[in-house]
Structure 1
Amino acid sequence: MLVRVMDEPTSRFPIGRTATVAALEGDPHPLLARLRADEPVSWLPALDGWLVTSHALAVRVMRDAAAFTVDDPRFSTSRLVGPSMLSLDGRTHTRHREPFARPFRPARTRERFTAFVEAEVERLVTGLAPAGRAELRGAFAGPLAVGVVAEALGLDGVDAATIRSWYGTFVDAVSELTAGGGVPEPSREAYGRLREAVEAAIAVPGSASLLAEAAHQEEGLTPAEVVSNAAVLMFGGIDTTEGMIANAALHLLGDPAGLDAVRADRAPLDNAIEESLRLEPSASVVDRYATRDVEIGGAPVRKGDLVRVSIAGANRDPAVFPEPDLFDVRRSNAADHLAFAHGPHFCFGAHLARLEARTALAALLERLPGLRLDPDRDAAARGLVFRKPTELHVVWDV
């Protein structure tokens, strides 16, 4: 890899050459805009790979699994949990994915989860209402996402706090790996405890849990494969959904005109959620590896190179979204974002995540009169891979 980079004139990617992890973790959007305009596929030494920021080129990379694969031993999630639907392609990917994807198709999602999500949201909002203030990510968005995943996985005997602690260590580990570090020991320990819980769940005779169902489908997943995919579901079902809800609340409460429109008529709420996903996707990058030499966006990508797709960059491409830095609850093409990825690795939990977000935001606006951001506490999304506010303090009238 070092020989390949040295062969390239460093002057060819001056913006990428000076990019830092700190800039990508904080407010990356000015940097991503410069890259997208001048170096839509740029080499970033800080990431030891290419970064794609154009919407069209991002779609191309994610759609073409033959040229840009996730099946590489360097893939961060596979280094943490082993092979899973997230780190495999082709027929093997389908074998891992389908047993878990079937229960999350739209009709089954509505049938299986609507009542549970509504009840969980009601429970959480009822607990918050008397206080007049809360840190919304920790007291609402996170517990909701954890509760839904716990229900879906059917890990009997494992409380939500334990599940949340596990996924927290996994998220930290992925961020550490993405920044060039190793697998932290706490994540290895958490994965061992998850493995024990999953193996116990699938061994229960007659269990109707998602894990037991996946373990006994015709695809014939092994217990180890069920465990690795359960960990992947935690990423999609907890961290990104928590971030999706927190980011949507931050954007909506920070936009008086949009908030008034949604309060007057719930019809724009779904589009407001899509617009928030566009403006600040809770999972900001996805990784691929080139399977052959290929030129993309004028960049000479070589076989084996890391090609990192910036969902955050693609979602603010002015060629697709006019005034891309503006939060507009009535944007006509907001749903053209790539927050749930694209191609064979499109997130099959998107329907459930949208159900959670819509139910959550509607209840917050209905049950907490005058809900607004706490003027004394700043909030902004941050993170290299998973982006959301560290804390989201809100107040309302009681």
Structure 2
Amino acid sequence: MTSETNNTFPVGAGATIAELEADPHPLLARLRAQEPVSWLPALGGWLVTSHDLAVRVMRDAAAFTVDDPRFSTARLLGPSMLALDGRAHTRHREPFARPFRPAQTRERFTAFVAAEVDRLVTSLAPAGRAELRGELAGPLAVAVVAAALGLEGVDPATIRSWYGAFVDAVSDITAGRTPSGRADEAHARLRAAVEEAVGPPGSASLLAEAAHQEEGLSVTEVVANAAVLMFGGIDTTEGMISNALLHLLGRPDQLDLVRAEPVRLLPGAIEESLRLEPSASVVDRYAVRDIRLGGVPVRKGDLVRVSIAGANRDPAVFPDPDDFDVRRANAADHLAFAHGPHFCFGAHLARLETRTALEAVLTRLPNLRFAPGPAPHAHGLVFRKPRYLRVLWGATAVSSDM
């Protein structure tokens, strides 16, 4: 783009990766008000920040596609459900999506999630202190995905290292940086684990089901989609749980409301947290043809990035959008799970994990509060969550150098 473009989109021209990683919301508000479709040189593409235009882009796969060799996960993993559209997308997605429909999710995962949460909270409770992202949210998400994929024999720390490498690589690609070789190593080790889990026809794991169903996915394709499930099933669920705790503990008045009416207000608190700080903050598309979007001429092949974080705070949809309000009537109109053909089919499972985890800690860890020290805050360009969530509970504070 030219200097003329920078003059046309001055707010976007001044945006930096550092600002988008640290606290993007003031910048996103300015963009939404002045340049709802803006060219950001820092991202090498357009950024969409209004709710209605975000829905339009994500819904219209004929005009805005993920099927482009520049797409971050395609560069990292090859073809997968996340990087394909049309029939190819359906072929990759359906074998994995079937077991995650609402009824199947409840039947298959409710007891497992409850048992895993009970195990984790029981181990934490006597200490009176913890780092809940690393000791609850992350281990829970890893355990559920490992069980779903049939990777129970793989050490949880190993699985976390794999998805951590993938997440870092996607963030590097999005920021225009060259990813390290960690993702390649993780991909190779994941492939070995998948090959073992697939086994012969009749094996019980989700990976085996995907490999042996009529769609006929190859092992390479199954590996790529397993890695995608690590994004959706581990990192974003870990972020979803962590961000919900961040918001509730940071707003004692809202936490009191939830404690008073947990059955009615806890689900709303989870949706409001997803709206206020979605754990996956942007999704990428590429223009299939020349098109006008929000009055802006977008050229064929242009990168069009949808800011989920920006759309979720659009005051045209959500009054007082920067407030955390567990009684917000339309909080579930957020786009945290995307929209259109790439809507996250694991949304029901992520909500089940988050609700079960929050119910347990709010019930079993009395007087739960942040530990002394700098207040935690969400951080990240693509995947946003607090780096740490250090907390105390009990009648009196527990001394800690955490």
1:270 matches 2:276: no
Name the counterpart of 1:131: 127
Check whether the contact 1:292–1:302 (CA below 8 A) recurs between aligned residues: yes
Distance 2:69 2:229 in 1: 20
Matched-pair contact (CA < 8 Å) for 2:40–2:47:
yes
Query: Would the aligned equivalents of 2:6 and 2:12 in 1 still touch at CA under 8 Å?
Result: no
Q: Does 1:386 align with 2:386?
A: no
Q: Are the aligned partners of 1:237 and 1:353 in contact in 2 as well (CA < 8 Å)? A: yes
Is the Cα–Cα contact under 8 Å of residues 246 and 389 in structure 2 kept in the other structure?
yes
The gaps in structure 2 that reach 5 residues or longer are 396-402
Q: Which residue identity lines up with residue 235 of structure 1 in the other structure?
A: F
Gaps of 5+ in 1: none
Are 1:250 and 2:246 an aligned pair?
A: yes
Deviation at 1:200, TM superposition (A): 1.1
Q: Which residue of 1 aligns with 2:38?
A: 42
Task: Find the partner of 1:88 among 84, 88, 93.
Answer: 84
> Deviations for 1:68-115, whole angstroms, at most 9, x for unmatched residues?
000000000111111000000000000000000000000000000000
Tell me how far apart the structure 2 counterparts of residues 259 and 204 of structure 1 sit (CA, whole Å): 50
Deviations 1:195-244 (CA, angstroms, capped at 9, x unpaired):
01101111245311110011111111111111100000000000000000
Q: 1:236 aligns with which of 214, 220, 232?
A: 232
**Cα distance, 1:376 vs. partner?**
2.3
Q: Is the 8 A contact 1:241 1:353 kept in 2?
A: yes
**In terms of mean alpha carbon deviation, does 12-21 or 174-183 score higher?**
174-183
**Separation in structure 2 between the aligned mates of residue 316 and residue 149 of structure 1, nearest angstrom:** 30
Out of 9, 14, 19, the position equivalent to 1:13 is: 9
2:168/2:179 contact within 8 Å kept: no
Partner residue of 1:107? 103
State the partner residue of 2:118.
122
1:207 equivalent among 200, 203, 206:
203
Match of 2:399 in 1: none
Q: Aligned equivalents of 1:175 and 1:142: distance in 2?
A: 19
Determine which of 93, 98, 112 is the counterpart of 1:97: 93
1:33 aligned to which of 29, 32, 35:
29
Displaced runs of 4 or more, over 6 A: none
Q: Percent identity of the aligned residues? A: 77
Taking the TM superposition and a 5 Å limit, the aligned residue runs for 1:271-286 are 271-286=268-283
Partner of 1:375: 372
Q: Alpha-carbon deviation of 1:374?
A: 1.6
Residue by residue, what CA displacement relative to the aligned partner does 1:21-51 show, whole Å, maximum 9, x if unpaired?
0000001000000000000000000000000
Q: Give 2:398's aligned residue.
A: none
Structure 2 distance, partners of 1:338, 1:252, is 20
The number of residue pairs the alignment matches comes to 394
Cross-structure match for 2:301:
304
CA shift, 1:8, in A, is 4.5
1:330 aligns with 2:295: no
Per the normalisation by structure 1, the TM-score is 0.98
CA distance in 2, matches of 1:175, 1:281: 15
| 1:292 aligned partner | 289
Q: Is the contact between residue 169 and residue 190 of structure 1 (CA under 8 Å) also seen in structure 2?
A: yes
Matched position secondary structure for 2:79: coil
Q: Secondary structure of 1:288's partner?
A: strand
Preserved CA contact (<8 Å) 1:377 1:393: no
Counterpart-to-counterpart distance in 1, 2:21 and 2:5: 27
TM-score of the superposed pair, with normalisation by structure 2: 0.97
Q: CA deviation at 1:157?
A: 2.2
What is the distance in 1 between the residues matched to 2:216 and 2:358? Answer: 39
Shift of 1:66: 0.5
Please state how far the C-alpha of 1:156 moved relative to its aligned partner: 4.1
Q: Conserved in 2, the CA contact under 8 Å of 1:340 and 1:347?
A: yes
Amino acid at match of 2:48: V
In the alignment, is residue 168 of structure 1 matched against residue 164 of structure 2?
yes
Tell me, in whole angstroms, the C-alpha distance in 1 between the residues paired with 2:345 and 2:153.
Answer: 27
Over aligned residues, Cα RMSD in angstroms?
A: 1.0
Match of residue 153 from structure 1: 149
Which secondary structure state, in structure 2, belongs to the residue aligned with residue 347 of structure 1? coil
Amino acid at match of 2:323: L
**Distance across 2 between alignment mates of 1:362 and 1:9:** 50
Which residue number in structure 2 is paired with residue 354 of structure 1? Answer: 351
> 8 Å contact 1:80–1:183 — kept in the other structure?
no
